[in-house]
């Protein structure tokens, strides 16, 4: 091989390396720009939801204050006190994720902005940037709520359970799973409003009804395939029960009544694997539908 040919190959390899570096830099830059743009665009929505989260916390606090004023003592255990604040957390998560994620894909097609955006940035970069930014804002809401509950709990009991941080971690993971579901709904619906409504109805009503049907059929299968079941670990992780299910008897006392098994919470590994699997499948499906819808519009 001649010296000139070797030099040409070296130059070609160096050019390819430089192109890859430039391509990667542009890839990261576009994602960062998308994140910055989305945060600015959804800032007012974030502030509104922050007020909603604080209002729910404040209402729970006022209930305890009224009970104390009427000489109704606070729960003896710290965990029981915290549980009362987490009663509406699942609904808050559903509302905020639906609000942030409902239009993440649908609004481009609803407002016909897709043809304007896509030539400047690829669909996967756009989706990654929007997912990171909107989930980050959602995560801040969850952390904010946990900080508020932690402050008041420490004030009332002068302690916070060691498992409190674990519970927050599960809440953030559950939020991400619900968020990816909403993104999937956004990818298959024509409007933002439809994606939001369907997502809320499925999580508040349909999935819970399915769980109830499964309970009364007396099929002793852990409902790991029902997304709302994973919400239980947020509270259960504060003091993990053993066993993770309980038997309930229905009927008149003293008779041979049927016994039903009610699952309280998934296990640590079951919750981790289940929620990550749900999230991965939903994000992949959302991207494929996203790509397919754009191809039809081109």
- Name the band, by pLDDT with cuts 50, 70 and 90, for residue 111: low
pLDDT in the model for residue 51: 97
How far apart are alpha carbons 15 and 103 in whole angstroms? 41
What integer is the mean pLDDT of 75-102?
92
- Name the band, by pLDDT with cuts 50, 70 and 90, for residue 170: very high
What integer is the mean pLDDT of 113-130?
66
pTM surpassing 0.85? yes
267 Rama class: left (phi>0) / alpha (psi -120 to 50) / beta: beta
- Name the band, by pLDDT with cuts 50, 70 and 90, for residue 114: very low
pLDDT in the model for residue 3: 59
- Is the pLDDT at 25 greater than 60? The verdict is yes
158 Rama class: left (phi>0) / alpha (psi -120 to 50) / beta: left
- Is the pLDDT at 202 greater than 80? The verdict is yes
Q: What do you get for the CA distance between the two ends of the chain, in Å?
A: 48
């Amino acid at each position: 091989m001649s010296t000139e040919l070797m030099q040409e190959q070296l130059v070609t390899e160096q050019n390819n390396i430089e192109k890859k570096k430039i391509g990667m830099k542009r890839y990261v830059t576009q994602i960062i720009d998308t994140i910055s743009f989305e945060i600015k665009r959804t800032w007012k929505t974030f502030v509104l939801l922050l007020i909603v989260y604080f209002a729910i916390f404040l209402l729970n606090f006022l209930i305890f204050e009224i009970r104390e004023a009427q000489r109704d003592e606070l729960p003896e255990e710290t965990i029981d006190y915290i549980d009362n604040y987490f009663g509406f957390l699942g609904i808050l998560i559903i509302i905020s994720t639906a609000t942030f994620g409902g239009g993440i894909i649908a609004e481009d097609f609803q407002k016909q902005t897709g043809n304007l955006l896509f030539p400047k940035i690829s669909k996967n970069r756009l989706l990654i940037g929007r997912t990171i930014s909107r989930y980050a804002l959602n995560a801040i809401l969850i952390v904010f709520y946990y900080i508020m509950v932690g402050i008041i709990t420490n004030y009332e009991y002068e302690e916070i359970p060691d498992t409190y941080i674990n519970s927050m971690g599960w809440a953030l993971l559950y939020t991400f799973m619900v968020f990816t579901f909403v993104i999937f709904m956004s990818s298959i619906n024509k409007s933002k409003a439809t994606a939001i409504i369907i997502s809320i109805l499925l999580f508040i009503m349909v999935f819970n009804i399915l769980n109830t049907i499964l309970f009364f059929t007396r099929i002793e299968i852990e409902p790991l395939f029902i997304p709302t079941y994973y919400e239980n670990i947020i509270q259960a992780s504060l003091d993990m029960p053993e066993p993770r299910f309980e038997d309930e008897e229905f009927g008149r006392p003293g008779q041979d009544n049927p016994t039903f098994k009610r699952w309280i919470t998934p296990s640590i590994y079951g919750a981790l694997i289940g929620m990550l699997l749900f999230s991965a499948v939903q994000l992949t499906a959302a991207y494929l539908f996203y790509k397919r819808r754009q191809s039809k519009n081109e």
